[in-house]
Amino acid sequence: MDKLIRKVLKTIEKYSMIEKGDMIILAISGGPDSTCLLDILNQIKEQFKISLMVAHVHHGIRKKEADVEARFVRLKSFHLGLPFQQKFLSVPRMAKEKGLSIEQAGRRARYEFFLELADKYQAQKIALGHHADDQIETILMRLIRGSGLRGLRGIPPKRGVFIRPLIECTREEIEAYCKRRKLTFCFDSTNKEPMYLRNKIRHQLIPLLKEEYNPAIGKNLLQLQNIINDELKFWEEITEHYYLKVLKKECSYYIVLDNQILSRLPVGIQRSVIRRTLRHFRIFLEGIQFNHIEAIRLLLLKETGEKLLDLPDTIRVRKSYQDLIFGFADHIKTSKREEVLEPQEYELTPGQETEITDLGLKFMVQQYDYQHSDYKNLIKGSNRNETYLDYEKLKFPLKVRSRKPGDRFQPLNSSYYKKIKSFFIDQKIDRDTRDKTMLVVDNSDRIAWIAGFQTDNRFKVTNKTIKVLHIRQITI
């Protein structure tokens, strides 16, 4: 028996990943990792008396490459005599519609498809091809983004129906196995593109850390991850005890916690209980960050009366007297006093001032040529209440207006679209400030500037800019 297969069998036994008679959905992209996973599980299927189904997602990115990968996985499944299921998606469109990054949208689409298949065919497990190097990259990525301990526990070997039999195998071991078995596989060109943080970590940061600081950095990070996992298992038992202590009501769509009891608990327990409650609604809290947990905690401790907080993934939290209510936005309605203000709209003209007296604001608009002597210094010294836009990219006349439901913009230095509402939630902007914040839009109603906050990426000034439009917001 191959040494890598023996290692995988130990991992399967260690984490109780597979039981005899299981039907397993295999998430196969066509790369070396998933090809190795497919080959190994196909070899041990008789030993475990398991049945396999291959699932592949065509993301609608790199179309020619993606077509080749889909054909490769389909033919591989046919040669192995395994059933094959495929789904075609446009991940870029999904990312745009939901205000997510390409990576987030792709991950969400894949997991939804695999879960649909598991439900349809009554599969007990879904096997993914993550390995030890993915684990190291994930820990570093979360560390860079400011994750807490739960983020540093990395990718779980097993969570619910998802299993990762290769999680303790290195990329080097997997590629060596493919070579020994003479397995062909596909190469994903996006794995080398530096625009993705994971690729930068893989190709730039990890080699630098190994060469300049510690050759055993990967081993040490995996050791840290194991230590954190052991510590958190203890904390999860403590968290469940306190969760039940503060729980008043729990159903599919909402949970009610005792606000007074929770507010008297230690800070660490408060955060843990809040995260435990949120996991009732979303297994993967990829959109929930530390600042969201803290916003709920501050709502719990400082806010008086009835207050409401919107979080990513359509989760809403309401503090109401002695209750802290968690649920989906559809099931926790806003109160009358939180309704959006009447819409306002004013035209902006270069060289003129526009006053919005009821908000106490004034907008001043000026046009500069690119050659303006102080242009670069002006941009460097600009503050949040002013913006510089590429004049030629705008369609005139410009307007300044209040926000509308569904408004989207393109965040600075990004290629995806985000809802204004989601932006405000992520920035923890209170409802009163949101209602007073104005949007500068062009004649096609494209948002060019969230006044006082951020410029839309489509209209930022570049080295190709010929004319610059300077807009300043002044409190009067």
Q: 454 in a domain, yes or no? A: yes
For residues 14-43, give the mean pLDDT.
95
Choosing from 291, 307, 338, the residue where a domain stops is 338
Number of domains within the chain: 3
For residues 426-434, give the mean pLDDT.
73
3-state secondary structure of 418: strand
Provide the token pair at 156.
């779980």
Q: Please state, rounded to an integer, the average pLDDT across all residues of the chain.
A: 86
Regarding whether 394 and 328 lie in a shared domain, the answer is: no
Provide the token pair at 405.
């439901």
Contact between residue 376 and residue 332 where contact means Cβ atoms under 8 Å apart: no
Regarding whether 160 and 127 lie in a shared domain, the answer is: yes
- Give residues with Cβ within 8 angstroms of 274, minimum separation 6: 293, 296, 297
- Give residues with Cβ within 8 angstroms of 314, minimum separation 6: 328, 329, 330
For residues 139-160, give the mean pLDDT.
84
Q: Cβ–Cβ contacts within 10 Å for residue 21, how many?
A: 10
Banded pLDDT at 121 (limits 50, 70, 90): very high
* % of the chain at pLDDT higher than 90: 50
For residues 257-277, give the mean pLDDT.
92
Residue 66 has pLDDT above 70, yes or no: yes
Give the strand pairing for 84-88 and 323-328.
unpaired
Nearest 10 degrees: CA dihedral of 378, 364, 412, 285? 130
3-state secondary structure of 382: coil
- Give the highest mean pLDDT range of 75-79, 275-279, 283-287: 75-79
For residues 242-251, give the mean pLDDT.
90
CATH number at residue 284: 3.30.465.60
pLDDT score for 336: 43
CATH number at residue 407: 3.50.40.10
pLDDT score for 354: 92
DSSP strand E in 329-412: where? 345-348, 353-356, 361-369, 386-390, 398-402, 408-409
Regarding whether 255 and 128 lie in a shared domain, the answer is: no
Pairwise CA distance, residues 453 & 431, whole Å: 15
Regarding whether 119 and 17 lie in a shared domain, the answer is: yes
Contact between residue 388 and residue 449 where contact means Cβ atoms under 8 Å apart: no
Backbone φ, ψ for residue 348 (5° rounding): -110, 130
Place of tokens 């295999």: 26
Give the strand pairing for 353-356 and 361-369.
antiparallel
- Please list the residues that pair with 315 across neighbouring strands: 311, 328
Q: 225 in a domain, yes or no? A: no
Regarding whether 203 and 305 lie in a shared domain, the answer is: no
Regarding whether 442 and 464 lie in a shared domain, the answer is: yes
Banded pLDDT at 337 (limits 50, 70, 90): very low
Regarding whether 197 and 290 lie in a shared domain, the answer is: no
pLDDT score for 335: 52
Q: 223 in a domain, yes or no? A: no
pLDDT score for 214: 93
Regarding whether 207 and 243 lie in a shared domain, the answer is: no
Give the strand pairing for 125-127 and 23-27.
parallel
Q: 88 in a domain, yes or no? A: yes
Q: 219 in a domain, yes or no? A: no
Choosing from 304, 338, 372, the residue where a domain stops is 338
Residue 202 has pLDDT above 70, yes or no: yes
For residues 243-265, give the mean pLDDT.
89
Pairwise CA distance, residues 378 & 368, whole Å: 11
For residues 390-413, give the mean pLDDT.
90
Provide the token pair at 407.
């408004």
Q: 231 in a domain, yes or no? A: no
Banded pLDDT at 431 (limits 50, 70, 90): low
Regarding whether 270 and 381 lie in a shared domain, the answer is: no
Taken in order 174, 179, 180, 185, is the CA torsion positive or negative? Answer: positive
Choosing from 319, 338, 357, the residue where a domain stops is 338
The amino acid sitting at 215 is: P
Regarding whether 178 and 157 lie in a shared domain, the answer is: yes
Helix (H) or strand (E) holding 464: none
Q: Greater confidence, 353 or 198?
A: 353
User: pTM of the prediction?
Assistant: 0.60
CATH number at residue 29: 3.40.50.620
- Give the highest mean pLDDT range of 89-98, 170-179, 274-283, 308-317: 170-179
Closest CA to 246 of 232, 265, 233: 265
pLDDT score for 340: 43
pLDDT score for 380: 61
Q: 218 in a domain, yes or no? A: no
3-class SS string, 208-262:
HHHHHCCCCHHHHHHHHHHHHHHHHHHHHHHHHHHHHHHEEEECCCEEEEEHHHH
Banded pLDDT at 339 (limits 50, 70, 90): very low
Least confident of 53-57, 81-85, 158-162, 191-195: 191-195
Regarding whether 322 and 351 lie in a shared domain, the answer is: no
Q: 410 in a domain, yes or no? A: yes
3-state secondary structure of 126: strand
Domain that includes residue 359, residue range: 345-475
pLDDT score for 450: 96
Residue 142 has pLDDT above 90, yes or no: no
Contact between residue 119 and residue 136 where contact means Cβ atoms under 8 Å apart: no
Regarding whether 110 and 28 lie in a shared domain, the answer is: yes
Estimate the share of the chain in helix, then strand, then coil, as percent rounded to the nearest 5: 45, 20, 35
- Give residues with Cβ within 8 angstroms of 289, minimum separation 6: 145, 146, 426
